[in-house]
């Protein structure tokens, strides 16, 4: 009976049992296509990664699955995979092929241990979200401080900005109504020098995400475009505490409102478990 090994990492944290969980099947070449989605559903984490040989000049290629669907790109699977694979490959930068293109991740070490990673994300496109009123009603909020816009970098994210971090903490959205929006629904507010974020994506099989790497980059773009921050500033994002998985993400957008030059998202990760499936 074939055996398929995987690693579990907690991503966007430096402490085990926090952050966003990720399973990485480090060699998925022999895994049948028909097993990929059922394995992601079996593990029931936000995302599961299957590592394959590169096809576009990268070091590896990955496929990313939520319990409900395959995604072309997601942030914490890319960063977590870089931590899992970068150590044995002894790379300072690992280039990871995704459905949204090749994503380079720079790895910072203390001795032999990887302690931080910074990924250059695809530059998102954006437009006003045409279902804004429905989204606000589903979230249970009256208005957004900034325009509600939809950002697309493979997955799509809408951003609703609230007046205080307390409003974000107290959110109790209608998940059934949110599931009719096939997007990540993000609510954010200033929290001192940091930003407080919660992201809901029941339409993707994720009621609430502990750490949303694919939202962090577009959020940096969104806030800079609308003057909440400046281009080139690094923002610190706090997420996940409400569901017992506190996470910290860092993001920066370089350029101008007319031309985004670079979007970078960073954070830490720790490997917490190893296992195998016999199928």
Active-site annotation, residues: 47
The maximal CA–CA distance of the chain, rounded, in angstroms, is: 58
| Residue 46, token pair as written in the block | 């936000």
Question: Which token pair is 17?
Answer: 């049992």
Question: How far is residue 187's CA from residue 193's CA, in Å, rounded to a whole number?
Answer: 17
Report the 3 state secondary structure along 52-101: ECCCCCCCEEEEEECCCCEECCCHHHHHHHHHHHHHHHCCCEEEEEECCE
Structure tokens at 55: 């096809």
- CA-CA distance, 201 to 179, in Å (whole number)? 7
């Amino acid at each position: 009976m074939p055996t398929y090994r995987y690693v579990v990492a907690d991503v966007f944290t430096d402490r085990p049992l926090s952050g966003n969980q990720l399973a990485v099947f480090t060699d998925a070449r022999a895994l049948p296509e028909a097993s990929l989605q059922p394995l992601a559903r079996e593990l029931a984490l936000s995302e599961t990664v299957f590592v394959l040989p590169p096809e576009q000049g990268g070091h590896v290629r990955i496929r990313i699955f939520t319990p409900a669907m395959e995604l072309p790109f997601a942030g914490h699977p890319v960063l977590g995979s870089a931590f899992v694979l970068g150590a044995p490959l002894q790379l300072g930068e690992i280039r990871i092929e995704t459905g949204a293109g090749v994503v380079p991740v720079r790895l910072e070490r203390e001795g032999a241990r990887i302690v931080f990673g910074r990924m250059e994300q695809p530059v998102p496109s954006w437009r006003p979200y045409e279902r804004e009123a429905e989204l606000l009603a589903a979230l249970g909020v009256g208005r957004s401080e900034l325009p509600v816009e939809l950002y697309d970098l493979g997955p799509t994210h809408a951003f609703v900005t609230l007046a205080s971090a307390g409003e974000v903490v107290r959110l109790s959205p209608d998940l059934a109504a949110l599931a009719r929006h096939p997007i990540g629904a993000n609510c954010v507010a200033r929290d001192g020098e940091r930003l407080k974020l919660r992201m809901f994506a029941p339409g993707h099989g994720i009621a609430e995400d502990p750490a949303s790497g694919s939202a962090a980059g577009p959020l940096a773009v969104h806030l800079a475009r609308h003057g909440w921050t400046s281009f080139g500033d690094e923002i610190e994002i706090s997420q996940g505490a409400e569901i017992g998985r506190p996470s910290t993400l860092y993001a920066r957008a370089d350029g101008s409102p007319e031309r985004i030059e670079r979007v970078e998202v960073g954070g830490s990760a720790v490997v917490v478990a190893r296992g195998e499936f016999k199928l």
